[in-house]
Every structure is written in C-alpha cells, then in structure tokens.
Structure 1
Amino acid sequence: MKLKEVKEILNAEVMVGEEKLEEEVFTACGADLMSDVLASRDEKAVLLTGLTNVQVIRTAEVVGDIKCIVFVRGKTPGEEILELAKKAGLVIMKTKYPLYIACGLLYSNGLTCRSGE
C-alpha cells in the first residue's frame, strides 16, 4: 500500500514528508508502548500511536524499517518531534481516529501485521 492510500483511508493530515507519499508500506503496528514496537518484526511499516514525545521518533530510528508515524486521536506533535522526523526521513501524519479504529481501517483495506504471526 502506498502512503498516499494510508493518508486517504485515515483522512489524515500530512505534517512532514509530503514528498514521500508514493513510498510503499507493507505492514502496520499500533502501540503506545515503545517496547512493543521494538519487539515487532514488521517490514516497511506504519507506526500508529497516541504518544507525542521524542521517544516515538527515537524508537522508529532504532527499529529502522518504520517509514511513517501516524499520531491518532487528533494529537499534534510538537516542533521538536517534527524536526527530528525530518532529519530521520520519516513521514508524519495525524488522524482524528482513535488507535483501534485507525488500525482496523488499515487492516480492512489490506495492510497487515507480521508481529502477530
């Protein structure tokens, strides 16, 4: 699935990385515990979370295969987070949907999760 499709499905606003919306992603991970994200095996993933702190960007950098972070429940990350995301080459979006609904929408449109195998 292309990131532009993720944007459309979630009716999301792109905050960083508009130029990367043609990139493909294959899996998604929804979590507020970054230790769960670190334990995931997802490839070319979208991370959906309600956390808006620096640890989210740092976790994405450590995992290495997260291409996009979607902040749920309409949460808006601060400028420091957006700047770190730009430097890390991440796409940042936000959606009004809660985590459960956002994950369900992506799953029902074909985006899967390898972590649950």
Structure 2
Amino acid sequence: MTLEEIASTIEGVVLTGDGKLEIEKAVATDLMSDVLAFAEPGVLLITGLHSPQAVRTAMVVGIPAVLFVRKKDIPENIVKLAEECNIAVLATNLSMFETCGRLFLKGLKPIRRG
C-alpha cells in the first residue's frame, strides 16, 4: 500500500514525506523498546506516542514512516524532526485498534517474530 492509500483507509493525512512510498508491513506499539527489539527496516510504525522519541526510534531502526493514532494535530516539532530525518508522518483520529484493523483488512501485513 502507498502512504496515500493508507491515509485514505484510516481517514488520515500525510503530514510530511512521499505519499507514493510503498509499505508492506506494519508494527503497532506505544513502547519504543518493542520497536527496537522486534521491528524491521521498511515497516510502518503505528503508535499513539506523540513524541519526538517515536521519530528518533524509527530513524535508528530504518523505519520510513510513522503513523500517529488518536489525533491529527501532531506537534510541529515532531513533524520538523521527521522532515530532517527523512521520515514520513501520517496521522489519524482513529484508535490504534481500529487503525490496525482497517489496514489489516486492506492487506497490510504484520511483522512476524521468531
């Protein structure tokens, strides 16, 4: 799925980054330690942690896009940091549960552990 397709599916917006970027897998968590332990480069990070730490963690792991759930008005400092790190940012007012469900039904795959 492209970021534009993802945004459309979740009634969201692409705040920064290339809307044509293709994403095949996603990880959903508010714990950045889980991202560091289990995520793979190239996945979409879905999180409710509206903090620069989410962007920094994505940068370390090689995650090209972060989707913030539960609100669309993401602080400007987070968007600016993401631009500097070349990481796309999406946002939706939907819950993490509904966001993940919609994306799964559209074919976005989860990461697999082990």
Which residue in the other structure is 1:13 paired with?
13
Offset at 1:116?
Answer: 4.3
Moved more, 42-51 or 6-15: 42-51
Match for residue 60 of structure 2 among 62, 72, 82: 62
> TM-score when scaled to structure 1?
0.89
The match for 1:95 among 67, 88, 92 is: 92
Report the Cα distance in structure 2 between the residues aligned to 1:90 and 1:41, rounded to whole angstroms: 16
4+ runs deviating over 6 angstroms: none
Paired position in structure 2 for 1:105: 102
1:24 matched to which residue of 2? 22
Deviations 1:25-69 (A, max 9, x none): 1101110000111112434211111111111011001101x1211
Aligned length: 114
Cα RMSD, aligned residues only: 1.4
Deviations 1:61-103 (A, max 9, x none): 1101x12111111153212111110011111111011001101
Distance 1:45 1:35 in 2: 16
In structure 1, what is the Cα distance between the partners aligned to 2:29 and 2:72? 15
- For residues 52 and 6 of structure 1, the distance between their equivalents in structure 2, rounded to whole angstroms, comes to 19
Which secondary structure does the structure 1 equivalent of 2:77 belong to? helix
Structure 2 runs not aligned, ≥5 long: none
**Conserved in 1, the CA contact under 8 Å of 2:47 and 2:68?**
yes
Q: What are structure 1's unaligned runs of at least 5 residues? A: none
Structure 2 distance, partners of 1:115, 1:60, is 18
